[in-house]
Structure 1
Amino acid sequence: MTTDPTSKTTFRPGTQNDSSALAILIDIAGEGIPSALWRGMKEPEQSVLEFGRFRARREEGEFSYRNAVMAEVDGEVAAALVGFQLDDPYDMGNLDEVPDFIRPLVLLEAKAPGSWYVNILACFAEFRRRGLGEALLAIAEERAREASAPALSVIVGSWNENAARLYARAGYAEAAREKAPSPEGDDRGEWILMVKPLR
């Protein structure tokens, strides 16, 4: 981990003004899945990231700025956490209507009902290896305890070994796996549900 002793890191709640940065960080953390979804939902005159920004600006919804914690380094957005408590019982809805590349994620989320879900944890490349991920996971745990959640949960790709190591160091352990088809239909590995019990 590299740190600059002269830099100042702060953590704060997300605001609507963070929506552009959030759209990018959401897509980074989601391995391109968010932009694939947004491509099919946007208006013809919108770019994919414009639509992601619109989604992040909403007052409601999982990807709302209201569910975000922003990390800033010297006043510049460097990383973000987006999380919330999963419903218990978890309603999978009609899985036949869910895109094939999303279905495995829904199945894994359903295995951690009531947990505080780390939906997004992402950092811009130039700010990595500064401990921001660890600090944001500590904030996630504070939020989970405030919500009296029984556990924290996160889903990580089997190919993302650095992220898996980060979660393991923070006390998360593998709970389940599902195949991870890409939006294009390619098989790229597995999604891994990792859980950290709090009780």
Structure 2
Amino acid sequence: MKKLQELLDKAKGVGKKVVAVAAADDDVVLRAVDMAKKEGIVDALLFGDAKKIEVVAEKAGLNIKDFEIVDSKNPADDAVKAFVDGRAHFVMKGNIKTGDLMKAVLKDEYNLKTGRTMSLVSIFETPLYHKLLVVTDAGMTIAPDLEQKVHLIENAVLVARKAVGVEKPKVAILGAIEVVNPKMEATIHAALLA
């Protein structure tokens, strides 16, 4: 795949999925969900303060009457429960701290722990490169050790294969310098992972 439009077309072919948005009172998130709904790829469960969600949507000029708004005092827990119960296919972060959402995701009662490091994997299209880029981890794992870096790479490769359709993705490990420096652990890890 070279363009995000191809990824969107693939998503349309898979069929509509339900997204559970934790703390949906965020205009950027609501715009993204609205756009995805208009493209026919999602239905949404919006968790959080119903009044705030409605005010944010109105200010953004969005019509969310077709979305299910769930007035919730614990939007992270309720969104994760919707996923665990099978009412949603995935969870989306809204106006909530990542740590607060992850506390809900990692609760033992939900049985979502896999033994691997969870990570943020993003897919980018840029006019400066001829195909899509899969990037990890720009937001969750602050100072990964070597084993965690292996997990991060595995997660990104899985997304590259399943979402982007690249069976053997190339992996690059970025650091402050290009050569191994024994004083910089990141360069030693990069050499070990190469």
TM-score computed with the length of structure 1 as normaliser? 0.30
More strand by share: 1
Greater per-residue helix proportion: 2
TM-score in terms of structure 2 length: 0.30
Between structure 1 and structure 2, the one with the greater Rg is: 2
